[in-house]
Chains A and B, each alone.
Chain A
Amino acid sequence: MSEVIKLKKGFNINLAGKAATQLAEHTPETVAIKFDDFPGLYRPKILVKEGDAVKAGAPLFFDKAIEKVIYASPVSGEVVAVKRGEKRKPIEIVILCDKTTEYVEHRKFTISDIASMSAEDALNHMVGSGVWPQVVQRPYAIVADPDVAPKNIFISTFDTSPLAPDYDFLFKGQEQYFQAGIDVLRKVGKCDVHIGLNAGAEVSKVFGGVKNAKLHKFIGPHPAGNVGVQIHHIDPINKGDVVWTLHPYGVIQIGKLFMEGRYDASKTIAVVGSEVKQPQYYRTVLGANISKLVAGNLKSDHVRYISGNVLCGQKIAADGHIGFYDHMLTVIPEGDKPRFFLTDGWLAPIAKRLSFHRALGLLSFLNGSNKEYVLDTSTNGEERAFVATGTFEQVVPMDILPMHLIKAILANDYDGMEALGIYEVAEEDLALCEFIDVSKQPIQQIIREGINMMRES
């Protein structure tokens, strides 16, 4: 094991509404696969229509750019809606769940089968079964192209974002699947698998004993758990490099595919946030509808439902669905109430509200470091030109100049973007910049625009 990599830059946002370590069952009525969850999709070809019956693992659509990768149904049931937006842009496919799940059956492999099978067979098995979209490639943070060999594979086994679920709890007892997934990935990728462990916690039971992978320990404030940050410190992405990243969930799903012979989309999610009466974990399924999770479980009704964390999650409706890559539902108050400038607005001496900047939070040390904040969705100001300098650099623990990268994107400067590290970042890595920005700029949106520009160039 390599030594602990200490990251100093970053910022922990300590929100109220952490999940208690207790698990309940949640059976959703519907699940949905949302096309916006895959930012790299070129032109999806939908294979099902309303009224079709599908099994769990049956193909729903594929991307015309990478035809062999299928996107599978997480459950068995009836396709009740294929929603489209302007210009027939596909939005989501909604499936009404069966009471008992029927699976598309695949071949089962033993540990020794996995060891002896060819890389090509393993890859074909993965792309045709529905697990492949869990393999995300950098640069660009899009679903990986199975025909491009990666330089490395990276897996972060902890999440430092606000109210993040505890991965040890999330994946309890799934060690053998995780190990099988790592073995498959190593074979398919023909490269090293690097695993980022949390040095600030006890040695993880699920991830700590894994073999055939290189383990790296990280400690530091958010975003130390982001895989992009870990890649930067283990083996940074250069021009021409391609690496794969996976969430441990994806690794386990791959392991289950090979060992159990089925595309298992069940997952545990955390329902958290200051507005949730009983924040805890629920065993449910990928893309689950949230209505039953929130009904009768909220402290107020003027809230925002966020699939994912508060930094890079997405707002969903009260009857919306959890995103493909998300493992949490966060519920926080909407912040559209006016605040008078002298009493609790911009000029008031405020200690109770959270700020990275001491200009507002000079007295916030009085709150102690354990204070849990209730934050709403107010922008707390209007969009302005970039004025402050040097602050973004304090929350990005990478040798990257975020402000200059952002300006290069805004100026359509392709060479500048490339030289300043666009290949190394995804939206989530600069999400804290967006949080702390006094000019209230949409930083993550700008980063994605930059990534799209580079992909199209």
Chain B
Amino acid sequence: MNFLHHLLEKQRPLFEKGGKFERFYYVFEAAETFMFTPPSTTPARGTQIRDAIDLKRMMMTVVVAMLPCLIYGMWNAGHQHYLAIGQEADFMTKFMLGLKHTLPIILVAYAAGGLVETVFAVMRKHPINEGFLVTGMLIPLVMPITIPLWQVAVATIFAVLVAKEVFGGTGMNILNVALTARAFLYFAYPTDISGSVWTLLDGASTVDGYSGATALAIIAETSTAQGSGFTPGAAVAALNGTSWAPGLFSFENLFMGAIPGSIGETSTLMCLIGAAILIATGVGSWKIIVSVFAGAYLTGLLVNAVAVNAYMDLPAHYHLVIGGLAFGAVFMATDPVSAAHTETGKWIYGFFIGFFTVIIRVFNPAYPEGIMLAILLMNVFAPLIDYYVVQANKNRRLSRATV
């Protein structure tokens, strides 16, 4: 690969100070450092050796952890399509259909995010950051398969711009960038990201009794219909009772993820595989993942205990497998920049995400899904949690002093 390196090095003077493309130095730098370890060595003072890892490797680990969700999501998109139109299809046919519709979304998200990132790098004269490697993959995974591509582009640009660059770029953002993209679409184009948008129909006619509703929507509907005079177990009965596809919302299927929903977030199993990768590699905080699940489960038990409607009566373990809780816990809540930075803070931060997810689901009729808002809410509170944890450390040091 030496010839490639020589070729790149030959172009270097063009991009360095005084060169024709001086403004685009960091574009060149990004391309070169992507392919080759930079020739930079450690300075004369300070640590003379460095750990073999870099930020690109770390970010790529997150992307790898998302691959099970992505691949399953592609298959599931095809699976839901053929299920809705009542046709049989083999694995590859389903997968290829999903791939056909998912790939453009991924490409658009990477292109739009990369464009904003590059423009800011050139403007601000700072290196292109690797954060968009993850963002560009996260955004497609939380979109419905039917999302118009231009909306993906607009949402990505909005998110990278407003949630990240205005705060100073990678490492400075307060809100999770990918969730901001989703929240933007949710509020700006609600009809394209809620209701019956989760199943790819492509204009085909559906089977009798087909409904594109998600599990969360079914439970919310049942709960509203029954009001406070509910029958115990009504929510589960409603999930199991959907007639158009038997067993679609059984607990096992909810866990496996062959249900309508965003591309990558339907399968709790795949999210857990991702979690295993993140935890084994130490890239994601296991404390956050565990505490989100614990928070949701305990809150689920709490609302069960005081249940006055069908939603509150929904068994706590259902909360862990329906909607995007697992995906949010594993890939969104663990974003190290927007999460709590202190180790104690991570426990608190995760717990409240779980808590608010269930609270929003159960008590807020306007939002069928709670995890997105819960994470965004706790993103805002993370610095406050850290503040008190840091303050405790400062107080310990202060209490020792006699002066």
Binding site for B on A (CB under 8 A): 13, 162, 236, 238-240, 304, 306, 310-315, 330, 332, 334-341, 343, 345-347, 350, 353-362, 375-390, 393, 399-401, 403-404, 419-421, 427, 431, 434-440, 442-445
Check A379/B50 contact, CB under 8 A, given A345-B37, A399-B393: yes
A378 to B48, CA, bound (A): 8
Check A314/B336 contact, CB under 8 A, given A353-B52, A390-B341, A390-B346: no
Contact of A379 among B40, B282, B393 (CB under 8 A): B40
Q: Which of A343, A377, A381 has the most B CB atoms < 10 Å from its CB?
A: A381
Chain B residue with Cβ nearest A436: B51
Q: Is the CB of A347 within 8 A of B60?
A: yes
Check A310/B49 contact, CB under 8 A, given A240-B401, A362-B281, A384-B129: yes
Chain B residue with Cβ nearest A432: B47
List the A side residues contacting B171 at CB < 8 Å: 384-387, 439
Q: Which of A236, A357, A421, A435 has the most B CB atoms < 10 Å from its CB?
A: A357
List the A side residues contacting B398 at CB < 8 Å: 419
A446 to chain B: closest CB distance in Å?
Answer: 10
Among B28-36, B254-262, B264-272, B295-303, which stretch is in contact with chain A? B28-36
Q: Is the CB of A238 within 8 A of B400?
A: yes
Decide if B343 is an interface residue (CB 8 Å cutoff).
yes
Contact of A381 among B55, B129, B393 (CB under 8 A): B55
Contact of B130 among A339, A384, A393 (CB under 8 A): A384
Q: Is the CB of B49 within 8 A of A375?
A: yes
Q: Is the CB of A389 within 8 A of B341?
A: yes
Q: Is the CB of B393 within 8 A of A420?
A: yes
Check A239/B36 contact, CB under 8 A, given A310-B49, A376-B49, A434-B47: no
A310 to B49, CA, bound (A): 6
Check A385/B169 contact, CB under 8 A, given A315-B44, A421-B397: yes
B169 to chain A: closest CB distance in Å?
Answer: 7
Check A345/B36 contact, CB under 8 A, given A379-B50, A403-B341: yes
Q: Is the CB of A419 within 8 A of B397?
A: yes
A313 to B393, CA, bound (A): 31
List the A side residues contacting B49 at CB < 8 Å: 13, 162, 310-311, 332, 375-377, 435
A-B contact pairs, 18 of them (CB 8 A): A238-B400, A311-B47, A335-B41, A340-B4, A341-B36, A345-B37, A358-B282, A380-B37, A381-B38, A387-B170, A387-B171, A390-B341, A404-B341, A419-B394, A436-B51, A437-B51, A438-B55, A440-B50
A314 to B171, CA, bound (A): 30
Check A380/B50 contact, CB under 8 A, given A338-B36, A438-B58: yes
Chain B residue with Cβ nearest A162: B49
List the B side residues contacting A421 at CB < 8 Å: 397
A238 to chain B: closest CB distance in Å?
Answer: 4
List the B side residues contacting A442 at CB < 8 Å: 43, 46
A37 to B366, CA, bound (A): 66
A135 to chain B: closest CB distance in Å?
Answer: 23
Q: Is the CB of B396 within 8 A of A387?
A: no
Chain B residue with Cβ nearest A347: B60
Nearest 6 pairs between A and B by C-beta? A381-B54, A385-B171, A240-B403, A238-B401, A419-B394, A353-B52
List the A side residues contacting B127 at CB < 8 Å: 382-384
A382 to B128, CA, bound (A): 11
Check A359/B282 contact, CB under 8 A, given A384-B171, A390-B341: yes
Q: Is the CB of A359 within 8 A of B47?
A: no
Binding site for A on B (CB under 8 A): 1-2, 4-5, 29, 33-58, 60-61, 127, 129-131, 169-172, 280-283, 285, 336-337, 339, 341-343, 346, 386, 390, 393-394, 396-398, 400-403
Q: Which of B38, B281, B342, B400 has the most A CB atoms < 10 Å from its CB?
A: B38
Q: Is the CB of A385 within 8 A of B172?
A: yes
List the A side residues contacting B1 at CB < 8 Å: 340, 343
Contact of B46 among A304, A338, A439, A445 (CB under 8 A): A445
Check A379/B401 contact, CB under 8 A, given A315-B48, A359-B61, A385-B169: no
A359 to chain B: closest CB distance in Å?
Answer: 4
Contact of B53 among A236, A239, A357, A444 (CB under 8 A): A357
Check A401/B342 contact, CB under 8 A, given A359-B283, A387-B170: yes
A326 to chain B: closest CB distance in Å?
Answer: 13
Check A304/B48 contact, CB under 8 A, given A338-B36, A359-B61, A381-B54: yes
Q: Is the CB of B281 within 8 A of A312?
A: no
A235 to chain B: closest CB distance in Å?
Answer: 9
Check A339/B129 contact, CB under 8 A, given A238-B402, A438-B58, A444-B46: no
Check A361/B343 contact, CB under 8 A, given A378-B41, A384-B171: no
Q: Is the CB of A435 within 8 A of B400?
A: no
A359 to B63, CA, bound (A): 12
Contact of B54 among A313, A376, A438 (CB under 8 A): A438
A424 to B152, CA, bound (A): 50
A353 to B54, CA, bound (A): 13
Q: Is the CB of B170 within 8 A of A385?
A: yes
Q: Is the CB of A338 within 8 A of B37?
A: yes
List the A side residues contacting B46 at CB < 8 Å: 312, 427, 431, 434, 442-445
Q: Which of A339, A341, A438 has the most B CB atoms < 10 Å from its CB?
A: A438
Q: Is the CB of A379 within 8 A of B48?
A: no
A90 to B50, CA, bound (A): 31
A239 to B398, CA, bound (A): 8
Q: Is the CB of B47 within 8 A of A360?
A: no
List the B side residues contacting A332 at CB < 8 Å: 48-49
List the A side residues contacting B336 at CB < 8 Å: 387-390
A122 to B302, CA, bound (A): 72
A381 to B131, CA, bound (A): 15
